[in-house]
Amino acid sequence: MPNEVVIQVENLGKSYLIGHEMRNGRGQESFREAVGRQARGMVRAALDIARGRQIIQGNKIEEFWALNDVSFEVKRGEVLGIIGRNGAGKSTLLKILSRITEPTRGRAMIRGRVASLLEVGTGFHQDLTGRENIFLNGAILGMSRAEIKSKFDEIVDFAEIEKFLDTPVKRYSSGMYVRLAFAVAAHLEPEILIIDEVLAVGDVVFQKKCLGKMQTAANSGRTVLFVSHNMQTVAGLTERAILLHGGRVAANGRSAEIIEQYLVEQGPASTVYQRAASGTHPEITRVELYTSRSGQVQQFGKPMTIDVEIHAPEPVPNAAVSFHIMTSRHQPVVHVLDLDSEVPMLRSAGTHRLRCLFPRLRLYPGNYYLNFYFGASEPRRKFEAPHQICPFEVAVLDEVREFYWYPDNALYVEDVQWTSQVVAPEGTSGNPVLHA
Amino acid sequence: MASSEVIIECGRSEKNYWRDLWRYRELFQVLAWRDCAVRYKQTVLGVAWAVIRPVLAMLIFTVIFGRIAKLPSAGVPYALMVFAGMLPWTFFATGLSDASNSLITNTGLVSKVYFPRMIMPTATITAAFIDFFIGLFILAGMMAWYHVLPSWRILLLPAFVLLAFLAALGPSLWVTAVNVKYRDFRYVIPFLVQFGLYVSPVGFSSSVVPQKWRLLYSLNPLVGIIDAFRWCVLGSSIEWRGVGISVAVVVVLLWLGIRKFRNMERTFADLI
């Protein structure tokens, strides 16, 4: 039945008790005080044990609601993204829905066989071989032995570890280990799949394979709950998302809108570098990079602007300013140069502003930063310029094409024009056919 | 489809618990198999350890209690009597110490996957059966060597093996649960096990205990179990009332263990 509600969460809440250690006001505590404090702590702990209560370190106890009054519904076949900052309650929510921990308040109803993947390779045993670990991990994730047996070859194939099947996994490279672990997980066939940020592992080729596998899972009518920090993945895999903030549902709706809201929460739509002018030599005092979205996220294909302020105590003849856009792996992708001979600049003393506009930024989704260079050509001079500034992220958030946006797949996307035509219809041949 | 509907609520997990326990039986098998498989991994002597340890202990007890202290052995070779007592004792002790740490050594599983937690200590105790079965073979070899033939009573042995299993399970569940919160118990168990070796009739026959103290002595459940083992295998005399007391103690401990475990189980993932 499509449209049937398979997950229904009502007013779910989870509280933890946290202890704080309060010291006397003087800051330093004497040995005698420390001994006294520990002794008091021990007596209190002993009393707690006797009464069967939870022991909490520290002498001031605070109740903390990791999740508070959370309600939402998921229909069969829906792929729901759950986003939010660290500590927003995402993992707690998944843990409750996977029945690992109990809620303090509220209830949740789940209809169907659930498998949760909160970690890759849960329960792998270092001393066991790859073959043995497939069975172990499969059973832990809830597969029956018969199911694992029937999918065994497929799993081994997917993980590409045939040769090392009978080697203990502690001898595996970390890449092989992760591949094996994910291969088992990818062959789970539950009705409801709960996933926590597990795609952030493995090499690029393997990540692609996993994304593909997940897409198939989502397309085959399975219900998926998916937590991620990677907006690209959330945008690519989910239609609907929930934004958690401080343990509460801050927003619930179409992924693109929810992601936008999350980005706004992440901070302003620009990133700034700034330093006070020394006044002794020409220098870059401020760089501001304006991204198309909040949270320093630049939407692929949209305009991006960079403002550069330069303070010159005296005119700088034949000035030249340039910068590199660097990938997070410190590889330059774009070099941009501005020469005085082309755009006159810094021809008088004072503070000047240069503006550089990218009408359609076509960098591949990923993280980038800027390295600046500043000098003059005649007489040849070189000034200090800031490096590793203005970090930003490029993302494709609405135009999602299959098999296209994968982390580190490329650095740059060119605007191209494809054409297609039939050169040899079936039955004829473009080449002369030789008859005997 | 209605059968797979799950309601998650505070205090709700009680309902499906025993059914879930059955549903997760394959995981139980796999975990028990894992514990067996890794038991002697990366050791030079491997399974030989399962032979060396009890045989050495038997030799020491035989020399100290049999030769030096000259304690009686009720008509069977002293070494044989010691070994027949050592079998259930070693099973109990290994089971108890391994199971008590089972949740702590599997923190990753407890905090990342759902399963009825009782599976874990139970599977760990089950893994202690390998050493036990190897010990049975040694015992059979020794009986052949001493020309001691077992009688029909040996058929009752499985019942007492089960009793030994339950005797280990009760305290294990209790300690495992408490261990999650208070790691102190990690240090208590090795001490208790070491101590228990001498208060249980492992190195000597329980007939050396004065008659008027025998029933009180049977409050130690291992007394009944070890006596019954010797009765099954060697045909030693047995105090059935004592065995009855031991069985009762095992049942009470099991009940206490399950209750404690079930009470604390819900908070394991938060505390571990």
Q: Of A45-49, B96-100, B257-261, give the lowest mean pLDDT range.
A: A45-49
Does the pLDDT of residue A435 top 60, yes or no?
no
pLDDT in tens, A364-377: 888 899 999 999 98
- Whole-number pLDDT of residue A332: 92
Cα–Cα distance for residue pair B91/B125, rounded to 1 Å: 8
Per CB-CB distance under 8 Å, the chain A contacts of B26 are: 139, 144-145
Q: Is A155 in the same domain as A53?
A: no
Does the pLDDT of residue A24 top 60, yes or no?
no
pLDDT band at B2 (very low <50, low <70, confident <90, very high): very low
Task: Kindly state whether B184 is in contact with chain A, defined as any CB-CB distance less than 8 angstroms.
Answer: no
- Whole-number pLDDT of residue A53: 58
Token pair of B118 as six digits: 């009782």
Q: Please state, in angstroms and as integers, the Cα–Cα distance from residue A264 to each residue in A227, A294, A298, following that order.
A: 19, 5, 13
Token pair of A21 as six digits: 């250690």
Domain boundary residue, one of A219, A248, A266? A266
Residue B149 DSSP symbol: -
Domain of residue A334, residue span: 270-395
Q: Is A308 in the same domain as A235?
A: no
- Whole-number pLDDT of residue A201: 56
Q: Is A121 in the same domain as A257?
A: yes
Q: Give the closest of A106, A111, A144 to B1, CB-based.
A: A111
| Beta-carbon separation of A55 and B182 below 8 A | yes
Cα–Cα distance for residue pair B132/B123, rounded to 1 Å: 15
Residue pair B189/B97 in contact (Cβ under 8 Å)? The answer is: yes
The answer to whether residue A74 sits within a structural domain is: yes
Q: Is A221 in the same domain as A352?
A: no
Burial of B98 (0-12, 13-18, 19+ CB in 10 A): buried
Q: Is A220 in the same domain as A309?
A: no
Q: Of A323-327, A430-434, B250-254, give the lowest mean pLDDT range.
A: A430-434
Which is more confident, A198 or B223?
B223
Q: Is A37 in the same domain as A144?
A: no
Q: Is A387 in the same domain as A238?
A: no
Closest Cα partner for A371 from A336, A341, A344, A339?
A: A336
Per CB-CB distance under 8 Å, the chain A contacts of B112 are: 100, 118-119, 122
Per CB-CB distance under 8 Å, the chain B contacts of A145 are: 26, 30
Does the pLDDT of residue B77 top 60, yes or no?
yes
- Whole-number pLDDT of residue B212: 84
What average pLDDT does range A108-118 have in this prediction? 86
The domain spanning residue A288 has which CATH number? 2.70.50.60
Q: Give the closest of B7, B42, B113 to A140, CB-based.
A: B113
The answer to whether residue A414 sits within a structural domain is: no
- Whole-number pLDDT of residue B181: 79
| Beta-carbon separation of A102 and B34 below 8 A | no
Most confident range, picked from A116-130, A201-215, B10-24, B152-166: B152-166
Per CB-CB distance under 8 Å, the chain B contacts of A102 are: 8-13, 266-267
Q: Give the closest of B7, B12, B113 to A100, CB-based.
A: B113
Q: Is A41 in the same domain as A182?
A: no
Instruction: For residue B265, give the amino acid letter.
Output: E
- CA-nearest residue of chain A to B38? A127
| Beta-carbon separation of B26 and A139 below 8 A | yes
Residue pair A249/A242 in contact (Cβ under 8 Å)? The answer is: yes
Q: Is A276 in the same domain as A371?
A: yes
Which is more confident, B156 or A119?
B156
Q: Give the closest of A100, A105, A127 to B112, CB-based.
A: A100
pLDDT in tens, A226-276: 888 777 778 777 889 999 988 899 989 988 888 888 887 777 778 889 888
Per CB-CB distance under 8 Å, the chain A contacts of B7 are: 107-110
What is the signed CA dihedral for A93, A99, A102, A106, rounded to 10 degrees?
60
pLDDT in tens, B186-238: 888 888 898 898 899 988 888 888 888 888 888 899 999 999 999 998 888 88
The answer to whether residue A6 sits within a structural domain is: no
| Beta-carbon separation of B30 and A136 below 8 A | yes
Q: Is A83 in the same domain as A228?
A: yes
Cα–Cα distance for residue pair A138/A127, rounded to 1 Å: 17
Does the pLDDT of residue A429 top 60, yes or no?
no
Chain B (22-51) residues lying within 8 Å, Cβ to Cβ, of chain A = 26-27, 29-31, 34, 37-38, 41-42
Does the pLDDT of residue B29 top 50, yes or no?
yes
Q: Give the closest of B1, B5, B10 to A105, CB-based.
A: B10
Residue B247 DSSP symbol: H
Task: Kindly state whether B266 is in contact with chain A, defined as any CB-CB distance less than 8 angstroms.
Answer: yes
Domain count, chain A: 3
Token pair of A374 as six digits: 């500043």
Cα–Cα distance for residue pair A391/A408, rounded to 1 Å: 17
pLDDT in tens, B106-145: 888 888 888 889 999 999 999 999 889 999 999 999 999 9
The answer to whether residue A415 sits within a structural domain is: no
Residue pair A73/A8 in contact (Cβ under 8 Å)? The answer is: yes
Place of tokens 């002595």: B217
Q: Is A308 in the same domain as A254?
A: no
Question: Sign (positive/negative) of CA torsion B11, B12, B13, B19?
Answer: positive
Per CB-CB distance under 8 Å, the chain B contacts of A119 are: 108, 112
What average pLDDT does range A109-122 have in this prediction? 84
What average pLDDT does range A417-433 have in this prediction? 76
- Whole-number pLDDT of residue A51: 63
The answer to whether residue A431 sits within a structural domain is: no
Burial of A284 (0-12, 13-18, 19+ CB in 10 A): buried
- Whole-number pLDDT of residue B1: 36
- CA-nearest residue of chain B to A119? B112
Q: Is A157 in the same domain as A18?
A: no
Does the pLDDT of residue B102 top 50, yes or no?
yes
Chain mean pLDDT for chain B? 87
pLDDT band at A203 (very low <50, low <70, confident <90, very high): low
Cα–Cα distance for residue pair B145/B140, rounded to 1 Å: 9
Cα–Cα distance for residue pair B73/B206, rounded to 1 Å: 10
The answer to whether residue A421 sits within a structural domain is: no
Cα–Cα distance for residue pair A405/A363, rounded to 1 Å: 12
A66: which residues sit within 8 A by CB, 6+ positions away? A14, A15, A16, A89, A92, A247
Closest Cα partner for A67 from A191, A197, A250, A199?
A: A250
B236: which residues sit within 8 A by CB, 6+ positions away? B74, B75, B76, B81, B205, B227, B230
- CA-nearest residue of chain A to B34? A136
Instruction: For residue A136, give the amino acid letter.
Output: L
**Nearest C-alpha of chain B: how many angstroms from A80?**
19
**Nearest C-alpha of chain A: how many angstroms from B173?**
16
The answer to whether residue A425 sits within a structural domain is: no
Which is more confident, A201 or A289?
A289
* β-strands A105-111, A5-20 pairing: antiparallel
Chain mean pLDDT for chain A? 83
Q: Which of A102, A104, A114, A171 to mutate to test the interface with B (most CBs of B within 10 A)?
A: A102
- Whole-number pLDDT of residue B161: 93
| Beta-carbon separation of A109 and B270 below 8 A | no
- Whole-number pLDDT of residue A79: 85
Task: Kindly state whether B147 is in contact with chain A, defined as any CB-CB distance less than 8 angstroms.
Answer: no
What is the signed CA dihedral for A150, A151, A157, A161, rounded to 10 degrees?
-90
Does the pLDDT of residue A20 top 90, yes or no?
no
Residue B64 DSSP symbol: I
Per CB-CB distance under 8 Å, the chain B contacts of A112 are: 1, 4
Does the pLDDT of residue B3 top 50, yes or no?
no
pLDDT in tens, A290-306: 998 888 888 888 999 99
